[in-house]
């Protein structure tokens, strides 16, 4: 019955895709690639306002997914990673001016230890009047290089300090550097976050896994109109699940809509290619050495209707028994 309902929903809302964007720093010219100038932020907000886009709280989108309520494709949710002071100083006043909600992800150690660029607890509390506040780890680690136990400990520490200082629980989590795999996902499941966000280009619809939400960065030199074109291609990824130990990617195997007869494939360092789809199955031999330790693989109907998978080389291995 549930599957039948999902099929109905997917049929009607196949092309309804909301977008979740991520910001980092505001009006901070020292860091071009992670910065958004106030001028750009205002232009983006004007574009939303004048083109019938509705900026909603992330929790509203999650509620709709959990209750099988359609997500209109003019919905947009805005998120901010790290909790930089520049958000408090330059970004927040603009969000308030437009009355746009947001989700702010706190790098707990930086706030706790008063690292120079970061908001303090009072500023985060003030921001929580206008938006939702979530976790962005304790020590901002590369989670893939940690043992399960270390991932758990980092998250637990962040969680407890967050609750102690803000007086409420974080409902969502954003991966540091957007890095994760199924091992990281399994550890984070223990915290029952309503939503977990990555940092790969994509969109969100009623079939989205709330524990694996795509976000598009609106930083540096970015074209908002272009980014709003992205739609989710429903895909079941079978291979690869992890970065290959040998460094050689043997093949890509995935399931897509059987109506699709050909698709586009992108692999970091290898670029785009056209591939065939047979009865909804992609089974493409690659046999190429992956030049980048972080490799993005995209399957698309075209350049915008896509599904993304990121595999990252694990840099440190420990011989520690993993209980968690």
Binding site for Zn ion (CB under 5 A): 81-82
The pair of structure tokens assigned to 225 is: 């109109």
Asked if 55 and 86 touch (Cβ cutoff 8 Å), the reply is: no
Nearer to Zn ion, 82 or 154 (CB): 82
Residue 28 vs 82, nearer CB to Zn ion: 82
CB 176 → Zn ion: shortest distance, Å?
5
Smallest separation, CB 136 to Zn ion (Å): 6
For the CB of residue 186, give the shortest distance to Zn ion in the complex, in Å. 22
CB of 32 or CB of 289, closer to Zn ion? 32
CB 86 within 8 A of CB 28: yes
Residue-level length of the chain:
324
Distance CA 121, CA 106 (A): 10
Q: Are the C-beta atoms of 195 and 8 separated by less than 8 Å?
A: no
Element spanning 116, H or E: none
For the bound state, the minimum distance from the C-beta of residue 169 to Zn ion, rounded and expressed in Å, comes to 20
Q: Least distance from C-beta 152 to Zn ion, angstroms?
A: 19
Nearer to Zn ion, 140 or 229 (CB): 140
For residue 17, the minimal CB distance to Zn ion (Å) is: 25
Q: What does the angle CA 8 – CA 306 – CA 136 come to, to the nearest 5 degrees? A: 95
Residue 137 beta carbon to Zn ion: minimum distance, rounded to whole angstroms: 8
* Burial (Cβ within 10 Å: 0-12, 13-18, ≥19) of residue 277: buried
> Is residue 284 classed exposed, middle or buried when 0-12, 13-18 and 19+ CB atoms within 10 A define those classes?
middle
Q: Given the complex with Zn ion, which of 28 and 81 has the nearer CB atom?
A: 81
Element (H, E) at 112: helix 108-112
Task: Please identify, using beta-carbon distances, which residue of 79 and 307 lies nearer to Zn ion.
Answer: 79
CB-nearer residue toward Zn ion: 17 or 82? 82
Are the C-beta atoms of 185 and 163 separated by less than 8 Å?
no
């Amino acid at each position: 019955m549930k599957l039948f309902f999902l099929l109905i929903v997917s049929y009607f809302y196949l092309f309804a895709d909301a977008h979740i964007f991520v910001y980092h720093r505001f009006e901070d010219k020292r860091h071009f690639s992670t910065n958004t100038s106030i001028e750009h932020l205002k232009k983006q907000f004007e574009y939303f306002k004048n083109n019938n886009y509705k900026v909603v709280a992330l929790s509203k989108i999650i509620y709709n997914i959990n209750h099988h309520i359609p997500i209109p494709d003019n919905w947009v949710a805005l998120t901010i990673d790290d909790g930089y002071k520049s958000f408090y100083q330059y970004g927040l006043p603009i969000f308030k001016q437009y009355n746009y909600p947001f989700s702010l992800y706190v790098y707990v150690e930086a706030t706790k230890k008063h690292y120079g660029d970061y908001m303090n607890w009072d500023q985060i509390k003030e921001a929580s009047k206008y938006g939702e506040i979530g976790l962005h780890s304790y020590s901002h680690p590369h989670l893939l290089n940690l043992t399960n136990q270390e991932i758990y400990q980092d998250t637990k520490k962040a969680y407890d300090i967050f609750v102690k200082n803000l007086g409420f629980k974080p409902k969502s989590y954003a991966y540091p550097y957007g890095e994760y795999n199924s091992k990281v996902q399994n550890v984070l499941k223990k915290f029952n976050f309503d939503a977990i966000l990555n940092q790969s280009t994509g969109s969100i619809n009623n079939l989205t896994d709330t524990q694996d939400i795509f976000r598009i960065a609106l930083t540096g030199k970015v074209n908002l109109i272009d980014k709003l074109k992205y739609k989710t291609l429903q895909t079941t990824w079978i291979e690869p699940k992890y970065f290959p130990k040998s460094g050689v990617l043997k093949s890509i195997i995935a399931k897509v809509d059987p109506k699709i007869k050909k698709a586009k494939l992108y692999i970091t360092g290898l670029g785009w290619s056209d591939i065939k789809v047979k009865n909804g199955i992609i089974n493409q031999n690659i046999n190429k050495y992956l030049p980048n330790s972080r490799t993005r693989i995209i399957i698309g109907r075209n350049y915008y209707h896509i599904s993304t998978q990121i595999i990252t080389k694990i840099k440190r291995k420990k011989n520690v028994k993993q209980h968690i």
